[in-house]
Amino acid sequence: MIAIYPGSFDPITLGHLDIIKRGSRLFEKVIVAVLRNPNKKPLFSVQQRLEQIRQATKNLPNVDIDSFDGLTVNYAQMQNAQVLLRGLRAVSDFEVELQMAHTNKTLSTQIETVFLATSNEYSFLSSSVVKEIAKFGGSVDHLVPPHIALDIYKCYNQKSPVLNSTTTKTMSFPKKVSPDLGV
């Protein structure tokens, strides 16, 4: 059984990777499909995101990386996939994802949507949170794989706050972001 895990993945986070790893244990093949969305201004190009995801999933032999545009169900049909894999962090995610699942079902009755609840340690995490923290000089080393953290710091012309010796001596960074940090 083939599952498609669609998204923008700008950037891919440890939460996304958690869903990919768990999905790879449930399905014969998982295709991480980066959506080419002309209406968004991403931090990374599609090619950069594909490479970042390939690097992050290189130890998962049944995970493929691809990109697409258009309707997700059409792409899933082209890949002979039977499942759309989606991660849920909160009730607000569920409402949006359920609406998408019902909409996709009207487009193709052959494709099911499977939801995986995000692991507790990643329940706060999104690509938007990562970019917001980095934009204001915070550490994202605990939120994304190391190679992606370096790419993010380059985009914002920063050094890693954790790798900078003066920073690590004077500051410590939480394992989780508190909802009251304003991000």
Q: Over pLDDT 90: what percentage of the chain?
A: 80
Structure tokens at 137: 């000089």
The active-site residue out of 21, 29, 36, 89 is 89
- In the annotation, is 22 catalytic? no
Q: Give the pLDDT confidence score for residue 90 in this predicted structure.
A: 84
Q: Give the pLDDT confidence score for residue 177 in this predicted structure.
A: 41
Q: Give the pLDDT confidence score for residue 91 in this predicted structure.
A: 82
- In the annotation, is 102 catalytic? no
pLDDT digits (tens, 9 = 90+) for 43-66: 999 999 999 999 999 999 999 999
Helix H or strand E encompassing 6? strand 2-7
Structure tokens at 28: 């014969």
- In the annotation, is 165 catalytic? no
- In the annotation, is 89 catalytic? yes
The active-site residue out of 40, 54, 154, 159 is 40
Structure tokens at 111: 């494709």
Q: How far is CA 64 from CA 12, 46, 55, 100, 177, in A?
A: 15, 15, 11, 23, 30
pLDDT higher than 80, residue 99? yes
The owner of tokens 């494709």 is 111
